[in-house]
Amino acid sequence: MKTAVELTQLFRNTGRKVTAQRLCVWRLLEGNTSHPSAEVLFEEARRELETISLRTVYQVLRELEELGECMSLDLGTGASRFDPNVDAAHHHLVCTSCGKVRDLYADFPSVEAPKTGLDGFQVGSAEIVFRGTCAECKSNAGLNGSTRPKALVS
Amino acid sequence: MKTAVELTQLFRNTGRKVTAQRLCVWRLLEGNTSHPSAEVLFEEARRELETISLRTVYQVLRELEELGECMSLDLGTGASRFDPNVDAAHHHLVCTSCGKVRDLYADFPSVEAPKTGLDGFQVGSAEIVFRGTCAECKSNAGLNGSTRPKALVS
DNA sequence: TATTAGTTAACAATTATTGTTAAAAGTTAA
DNA sequence: TTAACTTTTAACAATAATTGTTAACTAATA
Ligand SMILES: [Mn+2]
Ligand SMILES: [Mn+2]
Ligand SMILES: [Zn+2]
Ligand SMILES: [Zn+2]
């Protein structure tokens, strides 16, 4: 999780220009634990930079991913979710009702692919996704019939 | 994992007609451990039923899912993958190179969401996805530069 | 056999994402 | 400050996976 200043260096060092858009997207992502989608970041970004385009947000996110400064998560919520926390190993809780994504910092030492019976499949990583219902959706249960993930409504 | 005969009963009992298409899709899925996509099932189905449409395959898959006879998995490989194994709890190995999906039957007793620190999030299920390289892709490494999942090419 | 459900074709639509192009604007090195 | 070079933007088009739609046709069942 780099600061905006560090990102500036990184952009320069990789031959990229330090633009308001790049900084803005990074600032919105830095330390953000909500795992926003590109759309959500776009909505937030245009509050600061009224003319920023969704296209640019996608481009910057891709770049940040290539630079190893964020990762995109496919959690089955429709859109990719972006996570700036690439350093600390962690897992995710996904609300199947609203699409909210929370971090779960817990070590599961037993989660390691067996050595045998893999038919030569070489395992690189293990992700655990816990699915369930977030507190908010639980208390709203029955009030409305909405099954549509709120976090994804454009 | 029901047999075709059992499925016939299920269709009848739920007021559905027993059609060649429904039976065909189920027959292709029954005991199938390859986690095929709808497209793949469609290609296979039309060998038996030349006139079957992709639309129908999607419809039948949805139905089977509603009936609890299969589940669709979103493993980040582009298309949903269908799994008839809804009874035995298991996890998946996903080849990041070709998109192949293998079952992993292993019990990870420690994988249980902590009771505390969840902010009221109620956890229902835990899926573990192991990502890596399948044997075939490992031996093909470097031969071609293909990063495109072969299993997904239409 | 009549009724009803299911299938097909042939499209349109949707969502998330990437591609494209040209013009405008911004960044940086000199 | 200027010139060169990148980026951004707008305005679309395109893609891939999936679902919606309609009408005609076909098949299953009572
Ligand atoms: Mn996270
Ligand atoms: Mn499986
Ligand atoms: Zn929720
Ligand atoms: Zn592979």
HEC-encoded secondary structure of B65-112: HHCCCCEEECCCCCCCEEECCCCCCCEEEEECCCCCEEEECCCCCCCC
Q: Is A82 inside any structural domain? A: no
In CATH, what number is assigned to the domain containing residue A107? 3.30.1490.190
Average pLDDT over residues B139-146: 65
In CATH, what number is assigned to the domain containing residue A32? 1.10.10.10
Partner-chain contact B104 A113, CB within 8 Å: yes
Same-domain check for residues B61 and B114 = no
Taking the C-alpha atoms of residue A103 and residue A129, their distance in angstroms, rounded to an integer, is 10
Q: Nearest CA to the C1' of D29 belongs to which residue?
A: B17
pLDDT digit string (tens) for A94-107? 999 999 999 999 98
Nearest Cβ partner for A121 among B102, B111, B118: B102
Same-domain check for residues B68 and B12 = yes
Copy the structure tokens of residue B20. Answer: 């060649």
Q: Kindly report the bases of strand C lying within 7 A of a protein C-beta atom.
A: 5-11, 15-20, 26-29
Average pLDDT over residues B78-92: 96
pLDDT digit string (tens) for A116-126? 888 899 999 99
Nucleotide nearest to B53 (CA to C1'): C8
Of how many residues is chain A composed?
Answer: 154
B148 touches strand D (CB under 7 A): no
Q: Residue A139, Cβ neighbours under 10 Å: how many?
A: 11
Q: Is A81 inside any structural domain? A: no
Whether pLDDT at A147 is above 80: no
pLDDT digit string (tens) for B64-81? 999 999 999 999 999 999
Domain count, chain A: 2
pLDDT digit string (tens) for B94-104? 999 999 999 99
Nucleotide nearest to B54 (CA to C1'): C8
Same-domain check for residues A16 and A67 = yes
Banded pLDDT at A68 (limits 50, 70, 90): very high
Q: Is A132 inside any structural domain? A: yes
Name A125's bridge partners.
Answer: B131
Average pLDDT over residues B34-52: 97
Average pLDDT over residues A35-61: 98
The domain boundary residue, chosen from B39, B73, B107: B73
Same-domain check for residues B61 and B27 = yes
Domain that holds residue B106: 89-140
Q: Please report the pLDDT score of residue B143 as a whole number.
A: 60
